[in-house]
Amino acid sequence: MSEWLIRHAHMLDLSAGVDYTGDILLENGCIAQIGPFLSRRGCRTLDADGLCLAPGLVDMHVHLRDPGLTHKEDIESGCEAAAAGGVTSVAAMPNTAPAADSPETIRYILEKASHAKARVLPVAAITKGLTGKELTDFEALKRAGAVAFSDDGCPVSTAYFMAEAMRRAASMGVPVLAHCEDKTLTRNGLIHEGAVSQALGVPGVPAAAEDVGTARELSLSLSTGAPVHICHVSTAVSVQMIRAAKKMGAKVTAETCPHYFMMTDEKLLACDADYRMSPPLRPERDRLAILEGLQDGTIDAIATDHAPHTAEEKADFVKAPNGVIGLETSLGAGITCLVGQGVMSLPELLYRMSSVPARILKAPCGTLREGGIADIMLFDPQESWVVEPARFHGKSRNSAFKGLRLQGRVQYTFCRGELVYQRA
Ligand code: NCD
Ligand code: ZN
């Protein structure tokens, strides 16, 4: 265990009411002290003049592809990408091979993650093999270390099972993370159904495929009284339904992803599968509704839905699987698009990317408090850079942010009090 004294950093954390330039001492994996001026001999020091310091980001929607799909990503490489993006905790989705539907697989993930550069919060499957037919053993999975339940990517098709999952998860105090999609409406759709899909002559996914799913999960949450977290919101109608459900007292939280607030389906005109994901990029009116939802708090959190796929898999526009990576660009995207355009302040953005997801997952991170865990990151809020996927730390390169200029860049990341990333 090493000690670090980080000096002259602009420390920002709404959850602890911290917004001043000062020093922070990391000791034994914890934040030992925070103050305007600290002195301590014999420990490593870092002069953070000009940098902002915040709780490490908590990305509540990440596909680490481990076990079984490690040609795309694995726990080690995914956590390395996380560290480079200032992310110190990732919720790992269960659509692996095998699916994370057994205590053994949860234990495998946690064991491998114990040596990784970020914390991994395993999300267990709702149904065995993500087939929607039989519920998993929630109690045993939670005991093994699962922090939430989801059938992300293979959404539970039967409302009855989803209601039962919400009830069980609620009784155990863990959230259900819902990928809202009615696959009978998606059919063979590749991109959002609208002007762009028509111009290209490719089958579209109607916004209703997502909205029908959102409506179902909100109704189930209202009727069972159980909480639900809506994943990767991308449509205007879903934003409005979530807003209305919250007004009705539903215990609902929601996340969106940087690609939904930063780009539209016009990107698909390039016929490049690196812009294909589920749910798909939508038209400008949906993007604007997402911004509004973020601004008024209807959408609580920002997550990436980091979904790595190899270049070979992404080569064919039509056959490529859905998904884009995002761990190494989320902070820059948020600063550029949300802070830069006045949608929210920088402290608010950091809060929505760390403290809020930590609270939803009941994880003891996402705060700068003395005695709290030393998961922190430092970034230059002014640095402007162009996204070059070839320089990424994860295994895959399928970024929809390639070539974009972003403002704000991670310089150092500490996880468990250890330096896990330093910008070269
Ligand atoms: C996800 C993946 O690749 O695992 N892809 C995506 O586009 N979000 C699965 C999914 O949620 O469809
Ligand atoms: Zn999903």
Any atom of ligand 1 within 6 Å of the Cβ of 73: no
Any atom of ligand 1 within 6 Å of the Cβ of 216: no
Any atom of ligand 1 within 6 Å of the Cβ of 323: yes
Instruction: Please give the torsion angle defined by the CA atoms of residues 214, 216, 219 and 223, in that order, rounded to the nearest 10 degrees.
Output: -140
Could you identify the atom of ligand 1 that is nearest to the CA of residue 278?
A: 7
Q: Which ligand is nearest to the Cα of residue 233, counting in written order?
A: 2
Catalytic residue among 305, 316, 375, 380: 305
Residue 62 Cα to ligand 1 middle (Å): 9
Helix axes 207-224, 159-172, angle to 10 degrees: 50
Largest CA distance in the chain: 67
Helix axes 236-247, 207-224, angle to 10 degrees: 10
Instruction: Supply the pLDDT for residue 264.
Output: 99
Instruction: Supply the pLDDT for residue 309.
Output: 98
Could you identify the atom of ligand 1 that is nearest to the CA of residue 93?
A: 4
Instruction: Supply the pLDDT for residue 120.
Output: 99
Any atom of ligand 1 within 6 Å of the Cβ of 72: no
Any atom of ligand 1 within 6 Å of the Cβ of 259: no
Instruction: Supply the pLDDT for residue 2.
Output: 81
Pocket probe for ligand 1: among 66, 205, 277, the residue whose CB has the most ligand atoms within 8 Å is 277
Instruction: Supply the pLDDT for residue 390.
Output: 98
Q: Is 49 in the active site? A: no
Any atom of ligand 1 within 6 Å of the Cβ of 59: no
Q: Which ligand is nearest to the Cα of residue 63, counting in written order?
A: 1
Query: Strand pairing partners for 54?
Result: 377
Q: In the numeric block, which tokens belong to residue 314? A: 């992404």
Instruction: Supply the pLDDT for residue 1.
Output: 62
Pocket probe for ligand 1: among 61, 156, 305, the residue whose CB has the most ligand atoms within 8 Å is 305
Chain centre distance of CA 212: 23
Any atom of ligand 1 within 6 Å of the Cβ of 277: yes
Residue 246 Cα to ligand 2 middle (Å): 22
Pocket probe for ligand 1: among 152, 157, 183, the residue whose CB has the most ligand atoms within 8 Å is 152
Residue minimizing CA distance to atom 10 of ligand 1:
153
Residue 21 Cα to ligand 1 middle (Å): 40
pLDDT tens series, the chain, 424 aa: 689 999 999 999 999 999 999 999 999 999 999 999 999 899 999 999 999 999 999 999 999 999 999 999 999 999 999 999 999 999 999 999 999 999 999 999 999 999 999 999 999 999 999 999 999 999 999 999 999 999 999 999 999 999 999 999 999 999 999 999 999 999 999 999 999 999 999 999 999 999 999 999 999 999 999 999 999 999 999 999 999 999 999 999 999 999 999 999 999 999 999 999 999 999 999 999 999 999 999 999 999 999 999 999 999 999 999 999 999 999 999 999 999 999 999 999 999 999 999 999 999 999 999 999 999 999 999 999 999 999 999 999 999 999 999 999 999 999 999 999 999 8
What's the rounded Cα separation, in Å, for the pair 152 and 112? 22
Residue 291 Cα to ligand 2 middle (Å): 20
Buried-exposed string 284-321: b where 16+ CB fall within 10 A, e elsewhere: eebbebbbbbbeeebbbbbbbbbbbbbeebbeebeebb
Q: What is the secondary structure of 339-392 as a DSSP string?
A: ITTTSS-HHHHHHHHTHHHHHHHT-S-S---TTSB--EEEEEEEEEEE--GGG-
Residue 278 Cα to ligand 1 middle (Å): 6
* Predicted model pTM: 0.98
Residue minimizing CA distance to atom 12 of ligand 1:
153
